[in-house]
Amino acid sequence: MNKVEQELEYMEKVKEYHQGKDVKYAIFTMGCQLNENDSEKIEGMLVGMGYTKTEDSKQADIIVYNTCCVRENAEERLFGKLGEIKKQKEEKGTVIAIGGCMMQEKHITEKIKKSYPFVDILFGTHTLYKLPEDIYHILENRKKIEDIAYIDGEVIEGIPIVRGDHIKASVTIMNGCNNFCSYCIVPYVRGRERSRSPRDILEEIESLAKQGYKEVTLLGQNVNSYLRVEREKNIPFEEYRGVNSFATLLREVNKIEGIERIRFVSPHPKDFTQDVIEAIRDCEKVSKIIHLPLQAGSTSVLKAMNRKYTKEQYLELVDKIKREIPHVVFSTDIIVGFPGETQRNFEDTLDVVKKVGYEQVFMFIYSRRVGTPGDKMENQIPEEIKHERFNQLKALVEGQMEEQNKTYIGTVQKVLIEGTSKNNENMLTGRTDSNKVVILEGDKNLIGKMVNLNIISEHMWYLKGEYRG
C-alpha cells in the first residue's frame, strides 16, 4: 500500500467517525497559486472525510489555515486570526489545523505552541498528504499533533482534489527550489527541486480538458527548470510522449484537445532557454504574456540577491524574446529596498521598467525573513526610504499601464469568459491573453467560452469589451 492509499483508508475512518453527523470545514489560504493548489488538495481530502464546506467559519467543525511565509504581514494575519478563534475553540471544540510554509519555520511553530496552545494540528509542506491521518488521531485521542518533516521533499501523487473553478485550473508540475535567492525563504520551507512525471501531468490535464476546463496554469517555484535536476543528475524519470523538459512539456500540453489557453508561473530568467522561447512562439495556446521576474534592475543588487543575471543580461533576454515572439508582452515581480540598495541602484530598476514596458508589475517592499542571508545583511534600508521608492515605482508603473490600456481600444481581443462580474451581476468578466480583465454585457451562456471582443474603453484595472456574436 502506498502512502496515499494509506491516507485514503484514514479518510474512510474519519468518515465513519462522523457517520450521521453534518460536519463542516473552513479553509483560509494565504500566499501564492501553489498554496492555493495545495488548498484544493486539502479540500479534496476534507470532502473525502465527509466534511462539507462552509463560508462561515463559526459553523465549522474544523478550520484549516494554509499559511505562507514570504511576507512578514502573513504572520501578523495568522496570529490575529488565532486570537479571534480561541473563544470558538473553547465553546464548540472546533479542530484547528495549521499547515503550509510558515509551519516549516521553527520559531513560528514554537510561538504557536506557547501562545496558542489550543491549536490541534501543525503540519508542514512535506506532510500535507497526511492530514487525514492527523485528523483521525486528533478525533480519537485529542492529543496535539505536530507533523512536520524537515526533508528535501518528495513527489506524492493521487491526493484527491476539489477545484475552486470550473474553467481555469492550476497544475503543479514541480516543487521546491535550488536557487537560494538571498531574500527568499522558499528553498528552506519547500525543499529541493523535484518534478512530477510527464505522464502524471499530461493525464491530469487531459482529465481537466474532459471535465470542460479551458485554461491551465502550470505551476512551479522555478517552473522552467522542470526536469532539469533529473537530467543533470541522471535521476531516472519516465520520458512520456517525448517530454523531457519544460519546452517539450509545453508542446505536448498544447496538443491536448479542449484546452484553449496555457499559462505558467514562475520562470527564472537564468533558465529561459532557447527551446522554451521557441515552444512559446510555436504553441498557439501558450499565452504570449511572459512573467519574467526582475526583482531588481541594478546588477550589484541582483548579485547581492543571488539572482545569477545582470541588468544587461535580463534586458538582452527581453529583447531576444521580443524579436522571436511576435506581440509578446511581459509581467514581472520587483522588490524595492533590498539591503544595500542605493538611490542609483533603484534608478536602474526604474530604467528597466521603462525599457521593458511591463503589462503588469507585482511590487513588493523588501521584507526580512528569518533564516535568509538577506536578513543577516547589515545595510538594511530604512522603512521610509523603502516606502518612498515603492511609491515612485508605483507611479511609474501605473502611468505605463494607463498608456498601455489605451492601445487596446479599437482592437479585437480573444477573451476567456470566466463568470459574472463581482461588482455587477449583470456584467460578464473574462481575461485577455495578456491577462487584462475585460468586462462586457452578454448572455451567461458565454461563460466558459473563448470569444472575440471589441475593446471599447479602458479603465485603470479593466477594459470594457463588446461581443458581436
The residues binding ligand SF4 (CB under 6 A) are 177, 179-181, 184, 186-187, 221-222, 268
Cα angle 102, 106, 109 (rounded to 5 degrees) comes to 65
Q: Which is nearer to ligand SF4, 112 or 294 (CB)?
A: 294
Residues 6 or more apart whose CB falls under 8 angstroms from that of 343 comprise none
**How many CB atoms neighbour CB 319 within 10 A?**
12
Closest by CA to 338, choosing from 153, 182, 188, 144, is 182
365, 386 contact by CB (below 8 A):
yes
Shortest Å distance, C-beta 84 to ligand SF4: 31
Shortest Å distance, C-beta 187 to ligand SF4: 5
Q: Which is nearer to ligand SF4, 66 or 405 (CB)?
A: 66
Q: Give the whole-angstrom CA distance, residue 116 versus residue 26.
A: 19
Shortest Å distance, C-beta 295 to ligand SF4: 7
Q: Which is nearer to ligand SF4, 221 or 287 (CB)?
A: 221
Q: Give the whole-angstrom CA distance, residue 100 versus residue 108.
A: 12
Shortest Å distance, C-beta 333 to ligand SF4: 8
Q: Which is nearer to ligand SF4, 180 or 362 (CB)?
A: 180
Q: Please, which residues bridge with residue 169 across strands?
A: 216
Q: Which is nearer to ligand SF4, 285 or 307 (CB)?
A: 307
Shortest Å distance, C-beta 371 to ligand SF4: 12
**How many CB atoms neighbour CB 378 within 10 A?**
6
333, 294 contact by CB (below 8 A):
yes
Q: Which is nearer to ligand SF4, 221 or 434 (CB)?
A: 221
Q: Which is nearer to ligand SF4, 217 or 413 (CB)?
A: 217
Q: Please, which residues bridge with residue 365 across strands?
A: 336
Q: Is 145 helix (H, G, I), strand (E, B) or coil?
A: strand
Shortest Å distance, C-beta 270 to ligand SF4: 9
Interstrand relation of 412-420 and 360-365 (parallel, antiparallel or unpaired): unpaired
352, 314 contact by CB (below 8 A):
yes
Shortest Å distance, C-beta 68 to ligand SF4: 12
